[in-house]
Structure 1
């Protein structure tokens, strides 16, 4: 199995366009990360991977310590690159880039912010990485981001990328995929108990 873990709760991102912007875990998020280490510390993961983002690395670090495993940084699992918009307040974006902001809302899956990438781009790079991870060793847990998980869920289920916000992965929640000829969805937005039961 492949377990995609959305990073724990962050601070400093409310009302902002957060893609590659460096955010740290909030106090609640740090507690969540410790809780994940407790809840998943008995799962025999063969491999731990993470987005290179600080928030993802901090999420998986306590579990890695508990399991005695290293963490492989996978740039393909980083959050969407929002280019010139990254880190800006959404109110500022809608005022400064009004036409582009409207266009993004009309074709969310294919739209690239100036200097950034689209969710189609995210899906392509993430799916390629997951196919490689499916080759083993398994099970593997990868700490990543909501945008990545939503994009992957669209690809795995056939749901349109323009409606990727249909999926709502929570902080510190897991999406479980089954390797095979094609990746299959086992569970979405699952808690650690579900991961333990299925693995």
Structure 2
């Protein structure tokens, strides 16, 4: 079993194009991270993994400290790279790049910002690392991002990437993947107590 965890709530970034833009956990996010640690500390995790982003690492930090474990940093779990658009307000993007912004809306899955990635790229790299994790010791807990979770759910369900915003993974919520006979979507949008009940 692989449990994908969206990082806890952050502060800043509202109204902005946030991919690799550094964000810190909000006070509520720090509480969520502590609650996750308390809920997950008794689960016999074989590996703890995280995106390199600080917000993901900080989400797992209290659990790793309680378990005395090292978190494996996996770049393939990082949020989408929005390249030249990263960190800019959407209002500015609509004004500066109206044609590109419209093209993004018409083909979200394949649209790639200059210097960045498409969601198809995100899905490719995320699925590759998840398939690798599925071959190793389990269960695995991996902290990642909404963009990754959406892309993975599309790939596992056959849902079109152009409509990936149909999925709305919440902060500190989990997506559970089965690994018997290949990766499969076992459950989604679970809070920590619901995940604990699976063990």
TM superposition score category, shorter chain reference: over 0.9
Determine if the alignment matches structure 1 residue 97 to structure 2 residue 107: no
Shift of 1:180: 2.8
Residue deviations 1:125-172, cap 9 Å, x none?
000000000012100000000000000000011100000011110000
Task: Tell me the equivalent position of 2:73.
Answer: 73
Q: TM (normalized to structure 2)? A: 0.99
**CA RMSD across the alignment:** 0.7
Residue deviations 1:1-27, cap 9 Å, x none?
000000000011100000000000000
SS of 2:100 mapped into structure 1: helix
Task: Tell me the equivalent position of 2:127.
Answer: 127
Shift of 1:182: 2.3
Tell me the number of residue pairs that the alignment of Structure 1 and Structure 2 aligns. 199
Distance 2:127 2:69 in 1: 24
Determine if the alignment matches structure 1 residue 24 to structure 2 residue 49: no
Shift of 1:33: 0.3
Moved over 2 A (4+): none
Task: Tell me the equivalent position of 2:36.
Answer: 36
Aligned runs of 1:99-178 on 2, under 5 Å? Answer: 99-178=99-178
The unaligned stretches of length 5 or more in structure 1 are none
Distance 2:67 2:148 in 1: 25
Distance 1:148 1:180 in 2: 22
Shift of 1:123: 0.1
Shift of 1:115: 1.1
Q: TM (normalized to structure 1)? A: 0.99
